[in-house]
Amino acid sequence: MKVLLIDDDKAVNFFNQHVVIKHNSFEHIKTVQSGQEGLTFLSKVELGEATKPDLIFLDINMPAMNGWEFLDEYEKMCPDFRKDIKVIILSSSSNPEHVNKTIQNYKVIDFINKPLSFDILDNVLKVYNNVLSTSTQNNPLV
């Protein structure tokens, strides 16, 4: 599984990347430090210039373009391109409004509090596989 980590904090990205690598369930990890940088990377993926992620871990509170603004722009990308990519909010926010907004946002499959851990990644894989199997059952062509 390939992962894109989007977080403005270099230390958080470094730590989360280390945890993902050590977990041994992920083959490719790309980190970027802004929503705009994430969109730029995904545009390169669309052009075949970079590896497409299966999963995006997205921070909410970032300068210039926050996680919600990233999702609004991400939604404008080709639906066929987006359909296989799952998004998980990874945030230090405990704001119930953020959790509720996540639940109401069909593009996001989960809300997780930072930092990542092996247990969290185990759960992420279960959630990801459940979402994938549900979408496959609803649309056998997925």
Is the pLDDT at 100 greater than 90? The verdict is no
Packed helices 35-46 and 67-74: angle between N→C axes, nearest 10 degrees: 20
Q: What is the pLDDT of residues 41-70, one digit of tens each?
A: 999 999 999 999 999 999 999 999 999 899
Which of these, 95, 97, 118, 125, lies nearest to 110 by C-alpha position?
125
> Looking at the 3D structure of the chain, how many domains does it have?
1
Is the pLDDT at 23 greater than 90? The verdict is yes
What 3-state DSSP class applies to 80?
helix
Task: Give residue 53's domain range.
Answer: 2-138
Instruction: Write the CATH number for 122.
Output: 3.40.50.2300
Is the pLDDT at 142 greater than 80? The verdict is no
Average pLDDT over residues 93-121: 82
